[in-house]
Structure 1
């Protein structure tokens, strides 16, 4: 999948997408955008744009291809644009937007490591003016190979398909010791655990030896979390580190528990 993360100092001319969000304050990201954003940026909201909250497949359900294409076209994106996505830094939201664009096979999409503060430090100016772009007409070649649904994951659990399930939540949630959000505690059977927050280095995200030594580059890895959001940065870091056989279970644990059994404790 090639390079995913870019340092703010290496950002070239292109399109900017502001993906700032706060799961505890759903209006914060939009308000932050209006208070000041990178010149030329457009705002994508996690729940209004990058999820279809009318669906029941988890807490942040996957939008349809038609919804995503409409978003991309209304945003004035062209297939060959260089697209730079930022959030507040050390957060999962830019990675969520990045994954959606890679699902549509946009070739030149990057996450700005360090978020908006890194861009400001690199001398890129902010504005409160909103940019308008002409609507585009896209012909997209969807990359279904990076997407998993609950049926795909059930095949892995049942041994029908060989792949590693990777849970990006905290270990406490993974083992079922503490579950602050979902009604059922535990993890998808057979899954291993790597807390995505271990990737944080200040406001940036970076791979570490523990991640790279633990998981084999040759095996298929399906990443999930609670609702498909915090799995995105773990997926992105793996992709940036040269892992090519990756999928994201967008519905994630909050979707799985509506149909199937779970396990608790460490994976045997």
Structure 2
């Protein structure tokens, strides 16, 4: 009997040690997020394409093995008089084809900015109906915390053919003209910038004036992540608590914006993929575009008027 008792003790102790090592993963939509440990298990599969969404100098200092580099300018349409607009279908196809990405690949994207940059790419691809894209929860910091190795070696690849849907749904996209129409009906507009930007105290480069779209609610995009910690998403309950103060329903038409549609793309991910809201649009031009047109209404804490 003694050997059986000893065996049971060893099993219990082993189980207890494993429990201590387990990391509690927030209950998110697993289809669109991937954890560092999960990435480690599949990183060498041929159909996995890893994108490092940081500036080239940061990428060159060290990146995850096999990661290709991409930055905002690669997925922006530079034909506008202001920056940040979403690239055309043909531009996205050309960029991804040059990187050797195929249409049936799974794209995993990470950054070093709380998944803000990664979410912008996720948002662009969703609008063009490319669904096979995942965001690394916590980005490169989560990879490092999981003892993931980095390299400075360049990735070798052969150009490929990357094709998007012929009839893009633009599922999470709203244009300036569409937003102007929506403002005449029942819509909730949410500003995801900092409080200083929202009130007009801060005037960021690229906008022609400070302020906000009239009657916008406010929530800083970074409230959904552990911004000063591991930069991973907070738990669903924590995120729900943050958004509860806005008193929005899952069926409401919600339009998000920020400075150039990057931070609000992150909030689009949060509302649709984590909180389950059904009718969410990210205003592509955001404040940079809205402020460019003097006939559009705006407000800040000092002035509320329409310039003509």
Same fold flag (TM > 0.5): yes
Per-residue deviation, 1:74: 2.1
Decide whether aligned partners of structure 1 residues 154 and 15 sit closer, same or farther in structure 2, where only a CA change above 3 A counts: same
Per-residue deviation, 1:139: 4.4
Picking from 214, 221, 224, the partner of 2:257 is 224
**Secondary structure in structure 2 of the residue aligned to 1:84:** strand
Counterpart Cα distance in 1 of 2:217 and 2:245: 14
**Secondary structure in structure 2 of the residue aligned to 1:85:** strand
**Secondary structure in structure 2 of the residue aligned to 1:205:** coil
Counterpart Cα distance in 1 of 2:83 and 2:159: 32
Once the two structures are superposed, the pairs formed by residues 91-240 of structure 1 within 5 Å of their partners are 91-127=115-151, 128-140=153-165, 141-159=167-185, 162-181=186-205, 182-201=207-226, 202=229, 203-206=231-234, 207-212=239-244, 214=246, 215-240=248-273
Residue aligning to 2:103: 79
Counterpart Cα distance in 1 of 2:269 and 2:154: 30
Residue aligning to 1:5: 33
Decide whether aligned partners of structure 1 residues 8 and 244 sit closer, same or farther in structure 2, where only a CA change above 3 A counts: farther
Contact 2:33 2:136 in 1 (8 A): yes
- Residues 58-108 of structure 1 show CA distances to partners (whole Å, capped at 9, x for unaligned) of 431221221112122222223332211000141521111111121222222
Q: Which has the larger radius of gyration?
A: 2
Unaligned runs of 5+ in 2: 1-28, 303-308
The higher relative CO (CA closer than 8 Å, separation ≥ 6) is in 1
Decide whether aligned partners of structure 1 residues 171 and 121 sit closer, same or farther in structure 2, where only a CA change above 3 A counts: closer
Decide whether aligned partners of structure 1 residues 139 and 197 sit closer, same or farther in structure 2, where only a CA change above 3 A counts: closer
Runs of 4+ in 1 over 4 A off after TM superposition: none
Decide whether aligned partners of structure 1 residues 139 and 167 sit closer, same or farther in structure 2, where only a CA change above 3 A counts: closer
Residue aligning to 1:247: 281
**Higher-helix-fraction structure:** 2
Aligned length: 253
Counterpart Cα distance in 1 of 2:180 and 2:146: 46
Counterpart Cα distance in 2 of 1:137 and 1:60: 23
Give the aligned CA root-mean-square deviation in angstroms.
Answer: 2.1
Residue aligning to 2:23: none
Counterpart Cα distance in 1 of 2:32 and 2:242: 20
Question: Normalised by the size of structure 1, how large is the TM-score?
Answer: 0.85
Picking from 43, 48, 64, the partner of 2:69 is 43
Per-residue deviation, 1:183: 3.0
